[in-house]
Each structure stands twice: as structure tokens, then as C-alpha cells.
Amino acid sequence: HHALSADWQVTRQLQNISMEQDSERNRFSQEAQAWEQSLEQRQQELARVQEELQQAWQEGNSSQQELARWEAKLLRVMGALNVTQKELQDVQGKLIAIKQAVSSLHVCLNADCCPSGWLLYRGKCLFISEVKKNWWDSYWDCKDKSSLLLVNRGWESWILPHFLQADGAKYWIGKENTYRLACAGTPGWVKAVDAIPVSLTRVLSPRYNRAYCPLLVAGKMQNSLCKKSYPWICEQPPLLSSVSESLNPPLAED
């Protein structure tokens, strides 16, 4: 029954994230439509100016000064048109990116990109424990799961789920320099290794009672004595091989 409740919570969280992605995609779609309408208006204005300029040529009643005024107006309209086209391209690029993100999310939901009981959130698979351990035991638990304690790489660029920012929410997390020497694999990911830098042996030792370890408190980075017991968060990249197979099924052999 407890496992069913945890799975229901993860499914509910995934549905909320999917709804946020859909809302963001709709916003970009509306913005793109607005820019397309603006571009069409600019093109119509350009056509009118060109028609008026052609009439001025045919009638032959425009002085050089009048002709220069029309040419200047034409240049201004063309410049505004170029700016509008660039802004439209930027919005369309954002729209394509959000559509790809939504597509990957739906594919991941169908292809089980994350292990059972893990939460897929903003390109990461997160394991959020329900029991409490000290920082060292939490660290090794994540390693046993072929993952890492969640590493703070700047909360501004990666917003945490709301329930991790709630008052009273405390979770052990990792530190960037803990894994700095183990960079490998997918860009932006830091993989766990068995060899721990010598400078960290005292911090990682349960016998070092004065060690302070990173603790996430209501969504903000703090420090606490490593020997204290709190829940913890592990992270690992999603299994993108299953996603690529779903997006690009292999060709049938001859």
C-alpha cells in the first residue's frame, strides 16, 4: 500500500510537470502567432510603400527631394521588417525547444526513463528518500543506486520542485567539489567513482564528528553536522537510450 501511494505521488508530480510544460508551450505558440501577424502587417506596409513609389516614378511629378523621402521611408520599413523577422525566428526557436522538451517528457513517461519510484524533473531522475540517515550513509546509498547526491549547480537555472521548497523540508545533498575530479560522460553530469580525493577523506569519514555537510533547507543551501540524520536526494541522468529508440525506431534489416 505504501509503494502504491509513493507511485501515485510520483505520477501526480509528473502530471503537474507535464501541465506546466504544456502551458509554457501554449504561451510560446501565442507569442509566435502575434509575431507572425506583426510580420504580415510589416509586409503589407512595405507593399504599399513600393506601390506608392512606383506611382511616383510613373507620374514623373516628384522632385528628387520627394523621391529621396520615399526611398528613406522604404528603408525604414525594410529595417523594421528585418527586426520583426529576427524576433519571429527567436520566438519560433523557443517554441521548437519547448515542443521538443514536452515530446521528450511524454516519451520518457512511456519509456520509463527513470527507475521505479524515481521522479523525472527537468531532465533529471530524482530519488527522494522517506527515511533519515547521516550524510555519509546517504552518500553511499546514492552510490549503491549508481547515482549521486543532488549537486547544487545554481538553483536560479534549475528550479526545485515546490515540495522541496516547503517550510521544514530538509534533505542531504552533495557538493560540486566532491565530484569535481570525476567529470565524465554526458556534458553537465558528474559521475560517481570509487576513488575519493584525499582532501575529502576526513569529511567523508563517519569518525570526523565536526564535519559539516551540505543540507537543503526549504530549497536553500545550508550546512549541518554530517552526523545528523535527514532524508536525502539522489540524482542520475535519464535513460536516454530508451527515449531515442522510441523517437527513432531502428530500421528493418534487409
Q: At 204, is the pLDDT very low, low, confident or very high (cuts 50, 70, 90)?
A: low
Residue scoring higher pLDDT (100 or 203): 100
Domain finish residue from 70, 86, 111 = 111
Q: Are 165 and 100 found together in one domain?
A: no
The predicted pLDDT at position 197 comes to: 44
Q: Is residue 202 part of a domain?
A: yes
Q: At 133, is the pLDDT very low, low, confident or very high (cuts 50, 70, 90)?
A: very high
Q: Are 79 and 158 found together in one domain?
A: no
Show the domain range for 199: 119-238
Mean pLDDT, rounded, for 227-254: 65
Q: Is residue 248 part of a domain?
A: no
At 6-19, the pLDDT tens digits run 666 666 767 777 77
Q: Are 26 and 86 found together in one domain?
A: yes
- Let me know if 105 is exposed, middle or buried by CB neighbors in 10 A (0-12, 13-18, 19+): buried
Give the containing element (helix H, strand E) for 73: helix 64-111
Nearest to 111 by CA among 14, 234, 253: 14
Q: Are 134 and 98 found together in one domain?
A: no
Q: Is residue 9 part of a domain?
A: yes
The predicted pLDDT at position 229 comes to: 94
Q: Are 26 and 53 found together in one domain?
A: yes
Q: Are 231 and 143 found together in one domain?
A: yes
The predicted pLDDT at position 209 comes to: 64
Q: Are 228 and 176 found together in one domain?
A: yes
Q: Are 158 and 231 found together in one domain?
A: yes
Mean pLDDT, rounded, for 166-193: 56
Q: Are 28 and 84 found together in one domain?
A: yes
Q: Are 123 and 43 found together in one domain?
A: no
Mean pLDDT, rounded, for 136-145: 91
d(CA 10, CA 6): 6
